[in-house]
Amino acid sequence: MTLPQVFRVNAYLSGKKVQDTYRHKGMRRRLVESLRRKGIQDQAVLQAMESLPRHFFLDKAFEEHAYEDKPFPIGNDQTISQPYTVAFQTQLLQVHKRSKVLEVGTGSGYQAAVLAIMGARVYTVERYEALYLKAKFTLDALGLKNVRCFFRDGSKGLPEYAPFDRIIVTAGAEQVPEVLKQQLAIGGILVIPVGREVQAMLRITRASESTYLTVKEGDFRFVPFLEGTEPE
């Protein structure tokens, strides 16, 4: 899916006069080129990230920095993940068109939008109400109809919509929540960073009802995966 509705976004977010200009597109192309040099090869991931204006998901104050390969604050002490991390996790997830994907940790909504542009059916869960509301607004404004946002504690997954073909966790967990493994379809893939100070990126495939194969894919640093929800 492409983003034909970008002009509508310019109108919707015009309180802040957010536009996707040729300059933004140029910076985005250079960012994607740098991700390629850092080892990201999945063409669908790179294309989605090239088409999606990351600055729409950030406060105006960070607009000039939106295409640096860095995380930035999004409020409530949380961050939008570094583009390399988004690309790396998305590549590991191997989504297909119509894959049913659960994301735990909506944050800004950027990762959810990347998955939606790739054609996945995305269910994304956030524990801060303020972030949930803001991300939902941005995703609606982008016209991405294949994303559904939930204000929930993602440590419980989303039982009424399980099983999922793919599950991605974008906060650092101390261990793999058993519930999330249970909500994977057979053959499904869970990508989750696990650890205290530094997190190992785990790619867990559900091979059968009771068998899971785990592969460790490098170290990252995430904001913590926490239980419960926080009102605005």
| 218 vs 224, beta carbon nearer ligand SAH | 224
DSSP-assigned letter for residue 201: E
> What CA–CA distances, in Å, run from 213 to 17, 67, 83, 187, 206?
47, 35, 27, 10, 7
Report strand pairing: 199-206 vs 184-194: antiparallel
Which of 81, 90, 99, 138 binds ligand SAH (CB under 6 A)? It is 81
Strands (DSSP E) contained in the chain are: 72-75, 78-80, 100-104, 121-126, 147-151, 164-169, 184-194, 199-206, 212-220
Interface mask (CB under 6 A) for ligand SAH, residues 157-186, using x and -? Answer: -------------xx---------------
What are 191's two structure tokens?
């990508």
Q: Which stretch binds ligand SAH (CB under 6 A): 24-32, 36-44, 148-156, 207-215?
A: 148-156
Minimum CB–partner distance for residue 150 and ligand SAH (Å): 9
Instruction: Say what the alpha-carbon torsion angle 122, 127, 130, 135 is, to the nearest 10 degrees.
Output: -10
121, 150, 109, 126: which is closest to 13 by C-alpha? Answer: 109
> Should residue 146 be labelled a site residue for ligand SAH when binding is judged by CB under 6 A?
no
Q: Count the site residues for ligand SAH by CB under 6 A.
A: 24
> Should residue 89 be labelled a site residue for ligand SAH when binding is judged by CB under 6 A?
no
Q: Which stretch binds ligand SAH (CB under 6 A): 11-19, 45-53, 104-112, 192-200?
A: 104-112
Interface mask (CB under 6 A) for ligand SAH, residues 114-133, using x and -? Answer: -----------xxxx--x--
* Residues 121, 100 contacting (CB under 8 angstroms): yes
Interface mask (CB under 6 A) for ligand SAH, residues 6-45, using x and -? Answer: ----------------------------------------
- With CB atoms as reference, the residue minimizing the distance to ligand SAH is 107
User: Is position 81 annotated as part of the catalytic site?
Assistant: yes
Minimum CB–partner distance for residue 70 and ligand SAH (Å): 13
Alpha helices in 38-75 (DSSP H): 43-51
* Residues 48, 118 contacting (CB under 8 angstroms): yes
The whole-angstrom separation of Cα 88 and Cα 42 is: 9
Q: Which residues are catalytic?
A: 81
Residues that bind ligand SAH (CB under 6 A): 78-81, 104-105, 107-108, 110-111, 125-128, 131, 153-155, 170-171, 223, 225-227
